[in-house]
Structure 1
Amino acid sequence: MMTNVLIIEDDPMVAELNRTFVESIPNMNVIESFRNVEEGKKYFRQKNADLLLLDVYMPGESGIHFFILAETARKRYPSDLDNRCR
């Protein structure tokens, strides 16, 4: 089963490094990469990803903000993340 990855990273070199790393792992596929949260939000509303690689420090909205929006869109609570990480 393929794991679909969405990358949101404002630094093109880091985004490419992330893409190269992810695609070197069997059954991992980068479905799209965006340089800002606004572009990522538009895409995420139409297509879901199994894994998000998010830049925490970006101009404007951060990857953390995107994560909160994604969790809300999927009708999950922030405490779900704590439970999944244990």
Structure 2
Amino acid sequence: MRYLHLTFINAETIQAILEVCSEMRSPVILAGTPGTFKHIALEEIYALCSAYATTYDMPLALHLDHHESLDDIRPQG
């Protein structure tokens, strides 16, 4: 099985990507850029992805390797 790898820019694009992937019955890898995470907290993105993966009953991975600092991807809570 192949996975789509798509970049999101906000919560709305996460939802749109997952709706389409659900219709296609395709697992997905979601990637956010460091700029994306300046506008949406990692915890919020994680919560959205977890909820949508359950709602759409599909495999989902969150891709974070474009970040230059571990502090960018560590939970801040």
TM-score band by shorter chain is: 0.3 to 0.5
TM-score normalised by length of structure 1: 0.38
TM-score normalised by length of structure 2: 0.41
Find the structure with the greater CA-based Rg.
Answer: 1
